[in-house]
């Protein structure tokens, strides 16, 4: 007689991998996209798991994938804010330097 084997929850592995990628590539804009997609897939997987939890295993992977994806999105957003501020400061300093140089020419 065959045992009723449970399978991994839908999108559990994908959410976890995308969450890890969002942290690894967080200093690039790719990390933000990976994190958002990871959150979406984790939410879909959690919805499927909550409908029929007896069919699936891997609830921990879903939760970990969602948490890591959220952290990746937060770090990605912080990096974007940092990047925009750095570009604004460097840009304004560059323009001031050009004006200063034009005074002597």
Which has more confidence, 83 or 41?
Answer: 41
User: What tens digit of pLDDT does each residue of 11-28 get?
Assistant: 999 999 999 999 998 877
Reference 10, options 38, 36, 49, 39; nearest CA is 49
User: What tens digit of pLDDT does each residue of 43-61 get?
Assistant: 999 999 999 988 899 899 9
Distance CA 26, CA 32 (A): 7
Helix, strand, coil content of the chain in percent (nearest 5) = 80, 5, 15
At 100 the pLDDT is: 67
**pTM of structure:** 0.79
In eight-state DSSP terms, residue 9 is P
Q: Is the pLDDT of residue 87 over 50?
A: yes
């Amino acid at each position: 007689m065959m045992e009723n084997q449970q399978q991994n929850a839908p999108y559990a592995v994908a959410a976890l991998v995308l969450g890890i990628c969002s942290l690894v590539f967080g200093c690039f804009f790719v990390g933000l996209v990976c994190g958002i997609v990871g959150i979406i897939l984790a939410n879909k997987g959690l919805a499927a798991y909550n409908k029929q939890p007896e069919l699936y295993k891997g609830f921990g992977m879903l939760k970990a994938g969602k948490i890591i994806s959220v952290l990746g999105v937060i770090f990605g957003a912080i990096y974007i804010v940092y990047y925009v501020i750095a570009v604004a400061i460097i840009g304004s300093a560059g323009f001031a330097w050009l004006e200063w140089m034009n005074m002597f020419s």
